[in-house]
A and B are shown apart, each in its own frame.
Chain A
């Protein structure tokens, strides 16, 4: 065995802490503390919110909940889940997320495919046409006038059409399609395949990992979209979860309390905080359930962003 392979073995052995010098050990400990600190700082707010949401109301009011739940009570959950507006909002959010993401990904592919075809005679001008929108925009007011002008105010489409494509995601998708081997298209074309067929059966299937990332980004953006809803949706039957959350978390939780009905004023005040934290829990659950599963795509995704546009 050469010295080099022996060294490689040593370098790749993660448990060489014992044999390390004191200097290296010290650094290891500092690094360990640093990462642990990052994890604690990230997790603590969420743990605290969950603990408050299921603790006894009186313990919350006294401020004795610091990390773990004190007592156990699902009152606040019952109050919140008994609220009709919550379910309407939740339903709307799922509609906007699923339909929006579907449209986003489909249209992004349709924009990216022609731009990835090197012989397309409009490729350069259209590329500029798309890229320019990343750097300059008409701004809030003209956009607002246009969106309301085309009749999207208080329409479900207001949550989908104005955010149909992200130029940045389109560029990522285009880069991925450009890397599909040209032979595949040429062979298909020789056999008489048209561009629609080649997009659906060659380009799209071969960039599935990229599409997974784009789907994730789009879905998160649609799920979290607050601004468009605030601008264009005045009707509470159309409003998504984020608008409901804002009302409960940042304005007043009276609405939920009143709908719970017959609560004594004191009990209601005691529950304000709990109700807010229950709402946070309910809003964050889908994200927390899904994100760890798509983690591997995430890493691939940020690397895509680094690819030259």
Chain B
């Protein structure tokens, strides 16, 4: 190996040609990834231009440079429409309730599972609770919809047996958020607990011993040893989750909702889909999409800043 690789920062400045002739193999290896991101990530970013244009599909991507410029027309149209507030509220509330309900459960479950006396039961419980995470959204929503069906779903059969009236859960706006949050939590609590389980397992055993010498109870141990020990993991994950707060699962909302529950179920991403893909209002839809991406970006950047402050290290 040429010595220069070992010298590092003290190495003399090289010309671009020298660097390329040294690293051309690495550049070649990276080429497919480079092309992928150019075509499927950066080209669409250029495509954001259509948010300011009267874009017509007929001309394809080239139409981006020939379409009529309309400035902020689409943004004005969106923010003055009755939908804007509803969509922003729904997107935010859906994420907020998912976080509020979905975040603490994996922590509680992780503590419970590590405190079980039977290692075997703990292991089995873990394997079982991971499973739903790997089931597709289509199947999860399919199960939920059929369980809740007013005619032959098991939940409504139970309600009727207990003397109640069947509830049409899936077309009732007041149920949409609850169903989204509960099913989401059902699907991911086991998987999300893994990281907390690992953090608890990483606690120095001598600390447990020290507590035992002091005669601390198991409850004491949870509150005064385990929780403080995993608090950094909790805070870090909380910040990361906050960064992705507005990333509601488009797929799931799309599969769950219907015009009957737009009042609470329609989110920005599904609105963009309907306006763009179904109604072919490309310019308008990408303007709404851009607003969404920009807000999401701001959230991630701020959460990253916050994480850096809290832990002294950046997430990227």
Residues of A within 8 A of B (CB): 4, 7-8, 10-11, 14-17, 20-21, 23-24, 27-28, 31-32, 34-35, 38-39, 41-43, 45-46, 48-49, 60-61, 63, 66, 107, 110-111, 113-115, 117-122, 126, 129-131, 133-147, 149-150, 161-162, 164-165, 170, 185-187, 189-190, 194-196, 199, 220, 223-224, 226-227, 231, 242, 245-246, 249-250, 272-273, 276-277, 279-280, 283-284, 287-288, 291-292, 295, 298-299, 302-303, 305-306, 308-309
Query: Does chain A have a CB within 8 A of B147?
Result: yes
Q: Which residues of B contact A279 (CB under 8 A)?
A: 142
Q: A141-B272, A142-B45, A284-B139 are in contact. Are A195 and B25 (CB under 8 A)?
A: yes
Query: Does chain A have a CB within 8 A of B39?
Result: yes
Q: Which residues of A contact B5 (CB under 8 A)?
A: 119, 186, 189
Q: Which residues of B contact A309 (CB under 8 A)?
A: 315-316
The chain B residue sitting closest to A7, CB to CB, is B209
Query: Does chain A have a CB within 8 A of B162?
Result: no
Are A249 and B138 touching (Cβ within 8 A)? yes
The chain A residue sitting closest to B60, CB to CB, is A149
The chain B residue sitting closest to A149, CB to CB, is B61
Which of B23, B157, B189 is close to A120, meaning CB atoms less than 8 Å apart? Answer: B23
Residues of B within 8 A of A (CB): 1-2, 5-6, 8, 14, 19, 22-23, 25-27, 29-30, 32-34, 36-37, 39-48, 50, 57, 60-61, 108-109, 112-113, 115-119, 121-122, 124-132, 134-139, 141-143, 145-147, 152, 154, 157, 161, 186, 189-191, 194-195, 197-198, 205, 208-209, 212-213, 217-219, 233, 250-251, 255, 269, 272-273, 276-277, 282, 285-286, 289-290, 292-293, 296-297, 300-301, 313-316
The chain B residue sitting closest to A26, CB to CB, is B219
Residue among B124, B209, B314 with the most chain A CB within 10 A?
Answer: B209
Are B137 and A14 touching (Cβ within 8 A)? no
Q: Which residues of A contact B213 (CB under 8 A)?
A: 7
Are B45 and A107 touching (Cβ within 8 A)? no
- A-B contacts, 9 of them at CB < 8 A, read A23-B217, A35-B109, A42-B129, A114-B30, A120-B23, A138-B46, A140-B289, A280-B139, A299-B198
Are B186 and A226 touching (Cβ within 8 A)? no
Distance in Å: Cβ of B59 to nearest Cβ of chain A: 10
Q: Which residues of A contact B289 (CB under 8 A)?
A: 139-142
Q: A136-B297, A273-B146, A291-B134 are in contact. Are A165 and B34 (CB under 8 A)?
A: no
Are B33 and A14 touching (Cβ within 8 A)? no
Which of B26, B60, B212, B272 is close to A195, meaning CB atoms less than 8 Å apart? Answer: B26
Residue among B30, B36, B128, B282 with the most chain A CB within 10 A?
Answer: B30
A150 to B2, CA, bound (A): 43
Q: Which residues of B contact A133 (CB under 8 A)?
A: 37, 41-42
Q: Summarize A's interface: helix, strand, loop or mixed.
A: helix
Q: A4-B209, A120-B23, A121-B19 are in contact. Are A31 and B134 (CB under 8 A)?
A: no
A114 to B218, CA, bound (A): 49
The chain B residue sitting closest to A163, CB to CB, is B40
Are B205 and A8 touching (Cβ within 8 A)? yes
Q: Which residues of B contact A38 (CB under 8 A)?
A: 109, 112, 125, 129, 189-190
Distance in Å: Cβ of A202 to nearest Cβ of chain B: 13
The 9 A-B pairs of least Cβ separation, nearest first, read A138-B44, A142-B47, A249-B142, A139-B289, A111-B33, A189-B1, A224-B136, A195-B25, A142-B44
Are B195 and A303 touching (Cβ within 8 A)? yes
A112 to B148, CA, bound (A): 45
Q: Which residues of A contact B26 (CB under 8 A)?
A: 113-114, 117, 120, 122, 195
Q: A43-B128, A250-B141, A283-B136 are in contact. Are A14 and B313 (CB under 8 A)?
A: no
Are A196 and B25 touching (Cβ within 8 A)? yes
Q: A11-B212, A110-B32, A149-B61 are in contact. Are A45 and B43 (CB under 8 A)?
A: no
Which of A16, A224, A246 is close to B142, meaning CB atoms less than 8 Å apart? Answer: A246
A223-B136, A283-B136 are known contacts; what are 15 more A-B pairs with Cβ within 8 Å?
Answer: A10-B212, A27-B219, A35-B113, A39-B124, A122-B30, A129-B34, A141-B47, A141-B285, A142-B289, A145-B47, A147-B40, A149-B60, A250-B138, A276-B142, A284-B135
A21 to B33, CA, bound (A): 60
Q: A122-B27, A309-B316 are in contact. Are A242 and B136 (CB under 8 A)?
A: yes
A204 to B112, CA, bound (A): 38
Are A231 and B32 touching (Cβ within 8 A)? no
A57 to B148, CA, bound (A): 19
Q: Which residues of A contact B315 (CB under 8 A)?
A: 308-309
Are B127 and A113 touching (Cβ within 8 A)? no
Which of B130, B146, B269, B290 is close to A295, meaning CB atoms less than 8 Å apart? Answer: B130
A149 to B120, CA, bound (A): 54
The chain B residue sitting closest to A292, CB to CB, is B127
Are B30 and A227 touching (Cβ within 8 A)? no
Are A138 and B41 touching (Cβ within 8 A)? yes
A8 to B209, CA, bound (A): 7
Are A107 and B134 touching (Cβ within 8 A)? no
Which of B29, B131, B255 is close to A246, meaning CB atoms less than 8 Å apart? Answer: B255
Which of A114, A161, A185, A224 is close to B40, meaning CB atoms less than 8 Å apart? Answer: A161
A197 to B128, CA, bound (A): 41
